[in-house]
Structure 1
């Protein structure tokens, strides 16, 4: 086993850790941490590094050698464990993260985007101080659907896991050069995930906080500046995960935007009035029977060409994306892991579709327009 301080991370530490190390060396606000490489885990050496970080909760994340490239993100496909505190918890988390390239979801993702490629048996593991965020989320420095030169921000209360997992429909802010907010859509943000005491707690968001944007105007400007700094450092459009705690903005991940899209086509007048609408997240149009999936027990019902309809998706559901003609979720935003993977797989997706599970009927034919965010009945042409 080898342990490398995050500030010294090199390519052998995996792309996530290496890129954060580059950002840290360039002066960007990155939480401190270290990287564990190699198959063996030595508790004493890890304990020494945890002491160096000052104790407290950490984020333990896989840092795969093949992830975070310009075409393959592995968004949500490798393991992340938040809030581990004790040495025993952290050792278990390190082992789980190291082994995550061998999970079914990672193999399924790799088979779709890198057919015939052999994935590594294990991944380096990044351990960082966990930012106890007041609000957090994701920003892209280009629109991944159209390639437009805008900064897209998705934000919600608490830890950013709520945004990347699609557990909530976040606020969406669109910022055009030189820094003008051209659209602000306040998401429902019904729940939040926070670090409390000795663990993570998901709780309801107060009605007043659901109804307002969690990022103030000056916060938008700071996030745009962070994204542009990352873009300038790495030389290409960036997918940035960020967190704000006690008024300070932190960068917790930076990787290339893997899809750029193109100009949106006009709406097809032959398509019927939508049954439901949501956030257009992966462009294109697809038709198929709606398949309502509530849990893993429903996986066996999904057939090639079905339209996957669910409340939200879990990384373990990635194999279904290889079967689905399109994806519809009740919660989530354009920058969630599910939306990223749908774009990489080239299937239409509409997220944040309120009451999709009740408005759509299992087995009924639907047309999903991921460019315009509509779901209509029947097989329209």
Structure 2
């Protein structure tokens, strides 16, 4: 099995589709506004490695990275990817986000957060195929290899899915913790939010607005962020745009929207039965759920 729809990814093995796709797929039946997509399973990577005669146990990881990025897809596999891509384009998707989805993410003692590749605003089949290879290659990056070694995690059997998902051209986006990660209070939800795409926050480049909401009383404490810039879709890829003085001096979401995010977070946490870390985007006042994972160290 090389490709599954995002809706059906939760019925596949976690090792095949990876944590990101698996957790998001589980939420589709319970939360609206999850962008459609499909998942290349780890079997796809193994087929690609075999076809290109890449021996991961015999070569240096930097060599493997280069060989993956210069490798070619088996014709049948390429047709399957292009067909899946055409199907979601037919559902009105103009651009996709291509995200690594490893089974070795979100572990209790090792999150691998931000270490695997994500490519945004992919708009044609050539960019898609290149982006998939970049995600696979990131599994063998020196950063990932060093982190895994430090955590005593074996990477000898690649478990790397790739999630291809309709991209939300976000007006604002952010990250939510269903527990306060600083005080560890389970009574508080913490929201970091800013204009544009969420990668600015995730990378640490943008200082977001901060909302801390009490789950029971719904009281809100908030702090204005600098919101130095915003990331937006360009003709290809993403680009930095200047935030206006008005945007910098106003909160990027209203208190009403913050309370909507609180309700969403409580719904997700109740379903998962553990503290959650959520990535979200808002476009035309619709909230989209982009990622759900356990809060990890």
Report what 1:312 is aligned to: none
The CA deviation at 1:202 is 0.9
Output the TM-score relative to the length of structure 2.
0.82
Q: 1:235 to 1:159 in 2, by over 3 A?
A: same
Deviations 1:311-331 (A, max 9, x none): xxxxxxxxxxxxxxxxxxxxx
Distance 1:83 1:218 in 2: 30
The alpha carbon displacement at 1:116 in A equals 5.3
Selected match of 1:25 from 19, 26, 29: 29
1:131 alignment partner, one of 164, 168, 171: 168
Equivalent residue number for residue 311 of structure 1? none
- Of residues 93-102 and 165-174 in structure 1, the stretch that sits farther from structure 2 once superposed is 93-102
Residue 124 of structure 2: which of 61, 86, 90 is its match?
A: 86
Flag the 1:253–1:87 CA change in 2: closer, same or farther, 3 A. same
For residue 115 of structure 1, what is the aligned residue in structure 2? 152
3-state SS of the aligned residue for 1:97? helix
Please name the residue that 1:205 is paired with.
243
5+ residue gaps, structure 2, are 49-72
Q: 1:65 aligns with which of 64, 88, 103?
A: 103
CA distance in structure 2 between the partners assigned to 1:98 and 1:130 by the alignment? 20
Larger Cα-atom Rg: 1
The worse-fitting range, judged by mean Cα deviation, of 141-150 and 46-55 is 46-55
Alpha-carbon separation, structure 1, partners of 2:286 and 2:195: 15
Higher relative contact order (CA 8 A, sep 6+): 2
**1:143 deviation in Å?**
1.3
TM-score (norm 1): 0.65
| Equivalent in the alignment of 1:232 | 270
The residue that corresponds to 2:51 in the other structure is none
Q: Distance in 2 between matches of 1:118 and 1:2?
A: 20
Q: Structure 1's 49 and 173: CA in aligned 2 closer, same or farther, altered over 3 A?
A: same
Q: CA deviation at 1:226?
A: 1.4
Does the residue aligned with 1:188 lie in a helix, a strand or coil?
coil
Tell whether the 8 Å contact from 1:101 to 1:119 is kept in structure 2 after alignment: no
Spell out, residue by residue over 1:131-182, the C-alpha distance to the aligned partner (whole angstroms, 9 max, x if none).
0000001000001222102100000100001110111111010001225244
Could you list the per-position Cα deviations for residues 200-258 of structure 1 after superposition, in whole angstroms to 9, with x for gaps in the alignment? 22111001100111011111011111111111111100000000011100110000011
CA distance in structure 1 between the partners assigned to 2:232 and 2:157 by the alignment: 33
Is the Cα contact below 8 Å between 2:199 and 2:231 reproduced in 1? yes
In 1, the alpha carbon distance for the partners of 2:158 and 2:270 equals 33
Corresponding position of 1:354: none
Q: Aligned-pair distance for 1:25?
A: 2.6
Q: Distance in 1 between matches of 2:246 and 2:156?
A: 47
Query: Tell me, what secondary structure is at the counterpart of 1:102?
Result: coil
Note the residue ranges of structure 1 that are not aligned, 5 or more in a row. Answer: 260-381
Provide the rounded CA distance (Å) in 2 between the counterparts of 1:127 and 1:235. 27
How far apart, in 1, do the equivalents of 2:29 and 2:81 lie?
22
Matched, 1:6 2:2: no
Q: Tell me if structure 2 keeps the 8 A contact 1:77–1:109.
A: no
Equivalent in the alignment of 1:165: 203
Over aligned residues, Cα RMSD in angstroms? 1.6
- In the other structure, the counterpart of 2:189 is 151
Distance 2:237 2:153 in 1: 40
Deviation at 1:35, TM superposition (A): 0.4
Alpha-carbon distance between aligned partners in 1 of 2:273 and 2:124, rounded to the nearest angstrom: 39
Q: Distance in 2 between matches of 1:6 and 1:116?
A: 27
- For 1:250, the equivalent position in structure 2 comes to 288
Change (3 A) 1:221 1:7: same
| 1:124 counterpart SS class | strand
